[in-house]
Structure 1
Amino acid sequence: MRGWRRTLWYVQAFYDRHKTVLIVSVIAGVILSLISIRLFAVIPGLKKTIYIGRVGHYSLAAIPRDIQEKVSFGLTQSFENGDVVPALASSFSREENGKAYRFTIRPKVAWQDGKEVTPEDVTYNFADTQVSRSQNDIVFRLTAQKQDPNAQEPVLPVSFTSIVSQPLFRQISYHNILFQPRQEIVGLGKYRIASISNQSGSIDEMTLESNSDELVYRFYATEHDAIIGFKRGEVDTVEGLLGTEDLSAQQNVGVTARTHTDEYIGLFFNMVQLENINNPLANKQLRQALNFALQKPTQNRAISPIDPQSFAYITQANDVENYNQNMTTATNLLMKLETPTKIVLDLQTPPNYTSIADQAKHDWEELGNMTADQCEQTNAAPRDQCENKRIQVNEHITSFPDTQNFQVIVAGQQIPNDPDQYTMWDSTQPTNFTHYKNPRVDKLLEDGRRTTDKEQRKLIYQEFQTTLVQDSPVIFYQYITTYDVARKVKLL
């Protein structure tokens, strides 16, 4: 008994002397155990980490679509050829004469935190649309009423099924292992967002994790900054460059070119007609002359606003004017045009497209000089009108072209997967920044939004292409080509 008491006394004395160390050790052990359990649950083995450079300023709500699609998916999945298939939805249907769409949620699909998806988790927000939910279904119903009694009843467009392919996300709140409150964005896809750094006001770095690898995206303000970061070893690869500077000449660097047929470079004309202000570009004949005068590229040439992979793309070259350079045709068009005042064009371009703007300035001024000289030689018009045919192009290089105040602008334009381009070209839409107006095109765009038959839609959008290209509200120049650079792996 005395020995037992002595042992207890020694233990008590040892604890009193070292209790701080013992308590800290126990807490540290518990924390390390929790961390280990969590890590081994997520990372069964050593993960490969890839550092990827991107160019641009992005908020969390506007990160590039391809990154979003690594983390999640939407009710549907859409493809460049115009096809749409169910994704989170197991099926969808058009109801109420086109005023509503019903989507049935696929059962037993879970968010990345383990919660099963319900219709309440689908949080798309569309103007003039009412959302109703049941146990398994979500219905989007148009609430807008027609303003013109002679107009057709408004409907949700057929392209609505493509619109809801936008990936879905959900914000959750939790406490970490140190019981600190945290928020996290979860999706439905292979990768989860592990961390986000946005010290500059926009995202600087974003880490995505899967069970097998880790992708660390680092965002740079300019292409030059991204290339410098690549040279410094901050990233293993840079994606989506418009130019590679001197990287393509380096032996240890691989360059992969990618042509994006869902995005084109165009020279857009502003056709707005204001009272008492003469806008020469409102004249289709001048736009066509400028189109014929411009030398186009021989590779990756764009001739239409619709993706070549789309079911609605015009495949027959004779069905649409290709506007290959033809100075004779351009001169004849400009010669017939009355020119009471000199043609002066302001041309805006971002730095990446200065070579295109330079080419346009050269070709258009050459067209004006050729036409003016021919006009004077043949006495086709009074001398002052002949001189007015000499075109003056004032080129402005700006990182932020103004689509609200311009005459001609060189810009990249995204092509939607569905051929519906109502918001871009319908004369009633505020997003029609060229102010293009053609009643026939308006009718075709409206019909294309209502027609569900694929073959009928194909015919509608092919006529739309033919008419729009003929009118030349934009010079379709070239599909955008980007470059991915990466270090070559040395084999031992």
Structure 2
Amino acid sequence: MLASTVLCAGAWLMPAHAETATMVLATEPPTLVSLTNVATTALAVSGKVTEGLLEYNEDLSPEPLLATSWNISPDGKEYSFKLREGVRWHDGKPFTAEDAAFSINLLKKVHPRGRSTFANVTSVEVPDPQTLVIKLSQPAPYLIKAFASTETPIVPKHLYEGTDAASNPNGNTPIGTGPFKFKEWQRGNYIVYERNPDYWGKPDPKIDRLVVKFIPDAAARSIAFESGSVDFGYRTPVALSDLDRLKSLPNLKFETKGASYSYNVTRLEFNLDNQYFRDKRVREAVAHAIDRKVIVNTIHYGYATITYSPIAPGLKEFHDPTPSPYAYDLKAAAKLLDEAGLKPTDGKTRFRLTLDFNPITTEGRRLAEYIRASLARIGIAVDLRAQDISAFVKRIYTDRDFDFAVNGASNLFDPTVGVQRLYWSKSFVKGVPFSNATHYSNPEVDRLLEQAAVENDPKTRVGLFKKIQDIVAEDIPDLNLVSPTFLTLHNAKIHDLATTADGAEGNLAHLYVK
């Protein structure tokens, strides 16, 4: 925006000459660095300040970022990176390979996907300040795609060493190497980033200021786009019911580019420690009571694809389109509950559950409402519980105080990274968000996941994931429902927004306003 703007009744005044782009999010991020938490809102902001070694084009081919070149040994057990010279952290200290090595070792411990992504890493060595060598016990065919800024953020060793990563102040006031410097976070309202004049990638960034606004109400976000008070948002930032109307406006543009790094699957997660859901018949009954076609047409207005698999249809090489063995069938659902000894006590209600839903998207609540109505038809009473994203994450992954939950899972660029964490028994670690929330444990699935993670033959690897999908579909620790079609919406004056596979989640160094 080229005119002066006042946010929050004068809380922050933008100078009239500054060239600013304003991003909108539905909810506030729990942290500004995607180190210990990979909530979508954290991913949306992290890469602007905290960069990775590589970035990726639309077909996921790696390109330089903090690393300028790389080499993988023929046996796939050693990755060598040459790092960019002359890069400095925003506090003026030099960036070196020591920072990168420290970050990867830390990510292996604290990142929700780090335990599986870096499972085979045995050592991270620093032969000189500009060289990083990662050694593995076994090949990791997916690893070269894992070094994006949001997935493997490189953080300053001098600020994190000897601290608790989750509570480190850098998560709220980040210091990075990126094109934007953190300026201000007014809780509940907005974040302000300013251009880094010393960025290694000069003349980028091309804008003076990036503002991130939080607008929880979907209708208000639509109005903000219409009025021009926000410039862009991603993962379909408006109510789906407003899309047809907004598409008729000449000042707004829509695109699907910039989503290939992170396909998503919407899921219903059962807490397998729950007294009801530990009985497979109850899980089968719930599965029989939910119609995925209704979810696509009514909840997502057609902007979604049915999936029975945890591997999204976008990952065509790995996705199994085989329908669920538990088709929509209310009579079968009722019979299963009767067999489980859960007959109605008052002629109507069999038992009562609480359903939590991830608040990041508007569709989360609407899907939860649909599930409540559907399960009422087979005698299961459902109470909905709303909370902000931080409370949701704590409840599901730390306190484990939930019955079942509507949630989403990013597949990312490979099933070992995006899917293994959901079903691998070793990724059930309390306090680690967006991991094995169901507490699923199947030794055969563990074996297959671990084999797929190190299998270098593509055809064999696809076959392993096919077996995994078959077993999970039968065990039904969760219900995979749909894969949303994500749209990035932006004002026509915004250019070069989605130049990488992660689109708006990238560092936005090339974005300009015209």
Moved more, 130-139 or 327-336: 327-336
Query: How far does residue 290 in structure 1 lie from its aligned partner after superposition?
Result: 1.5
Structure 2 residue corresponding to 1:391, chosen from 380, 383, 389: 380
- 1:134 aligns to 2:127 (yes or no): yes
Question: Match for residue 302 of structure 1?
Answer: 307
Please tell me the residue identity of whatever aligns with 1:74.
G
Please tell me the residue identity of whatever aligns with 1:440.
E
Question: Match for residue 187 of structure 1?
Answer: 177
Question: Match for residue 290 of structure 1?
Answer: 286
8 Å CA contact 2:308–2:481 kept in 1: the answer is yes
1:227-255 alpha-carbon deviations (Å, 9 max, x no partner): 56556654334444252686864664636
1:257-304 alpha-carbon deviations (Å, 9 max, x no partner): 75967122211111116xxxxx22112232122112211134422322
Judged with a 3 Å threshold, the aligned counterparts in structure 2 of structure 1 residues 73 and 307 are, in CA distance, closer, same or farther, namely farther
Distance 1:485 1:159 in 2: 30
1:186-205 matched pairs, under 5 angstroms? 187=177, 192-193=179-180, 196-200=183-187, 204-205=191-192
Distance 2:351 2:58 in 1: 40
Distance 2:125 2:412 in 1: 27
Question: Match for residue 81 of structure 2?
Answer: 104
Query: How far does residue 120 in structure 1 lie from its aligned partner after superposition?
Result: 3.4
Question: Match for residue 413 of structure 1?
Answer: 409
Distance 1:487 1:346 in 2: 40
Question: Match for residue 346 of structure 1?
Answer: 354
Please tell me the residue identity of whatever aligns with 1:131.
V
Query: How far does residue 475 in structure 1 lie from its aligned partner after superposition?
Result: 1.5
8 Å CA contact 2:222–2:239 kept in 1: the answer is no
Query: How far does residue 71 in structure 1 lie from its aligned partner after superposition?
Result: 6.5
- 1:75 aligns to 2:56 (yes or no): no
1:78-477 matched pairs, under 5 angstroms? 88=67, 90-93=69-72, 101-105=78-82, 118-122=96-100, 123-124=102-103, 125-126=105-106, 127=108, 130-135=123-128, 137-141=131-135, 157-165=140-148, 166-168=152-154, 185=175, 187=177, 192-193=179-180, 196-200=183-187, 204-208=191-195, 210=204, 212-214=206-208, 216-220=210-214, 222-223=216-217, 226=221, 230=225, 233-240=228-235, 241-243=237-239, 249=245, 252=249, 254=252, 256=254, 258=256, 262-272=263-273, 279-296=275-292, 297-298=295-296, 299=302, 300=304, 301-310=306-315, 312-315=317-320, 317-318=321-322, 320-321=323-324, 323-331=326-334, 333-334=336-337, 336-339=339-342, 342-350=350-358, 352=362, 353-366=364-377, 368=378, 390-399=379-388, 400-401=391-392, 402-403=395-396, 404-420=400-416, 421-428=419-426, 429-430=428-429, 431-477=435-481
Judged with a 3 Å threshold, the aligned counterparts in structure 2 of structure 1 residues 80 and 255 are, in CA distance, closer, same or farther, namely closer
8 Å CA contact 1:291–1:323 kept in 2: the answer is yes
Judged with a 3 Å threshold, the aligned counterparts in structure 2 of structure 1 residues 109 and 479 are, in CA distance, closer, same or farther, namely farther
Let me know the Cα RMSD of the aligned residues: 4.3
Structure index of larger Rg: 1
Please tell me the residue identity of whatever aligns with 1:394.
D
Judged with a 3 Å threshold, the aligned counterparts in structure 2 of structure 1 residues 454 and 92 are, in CA distance, closer, same or farther, namely farther
8 Å CA contact 2:22–2:230 kept in 1: the answer is yes
8 Å CA contact 2:318–2:466 kept in 1: the answer is yes
8 Å CA contact 1:82–1:310 kept in 2: the answer is no
Gaps of 5+ in 2: 1-16, 35-40, 110-121, 159-172, 197-203, 297-301, 430-434, 494-514
Judged with a 3 Å threshold, the aligned counterparts in structure 2 of structure 1 residues 271 and 112 are, in CA distance, closer, same or farther, namely closer
* Identity %, equivalent residues: 20
TM-score (norm 2): 0.62
Distance 1:222 1:469 in 2: 35
Question: Match for residue 22 of structure 2?
Answer: 51
Question: Match for residue 33 of structure 2?
Answer: 61
1:399-420 alpha-carbon deviations (Å, 9 max, x no partner): 4433111112112222232211
Distance 1:51 1:219 in 2: 7
Query: How far does residue 212 in structure 1 lie from its aligned partner after superposition?
Result: 4.4
Please tell me the residue identity of whatever aligns with 1:103.
S
Question: Match for residue 6 of structure 2?
Answer: none
8 Å CA contact 2:264–2:408 kept in 1: the answer is yes
Find the residue that maps to 2:472 and give its secondary structure.
Answer: helix
Please tell me the residue identity of whatever aligns with 1:206.
Y
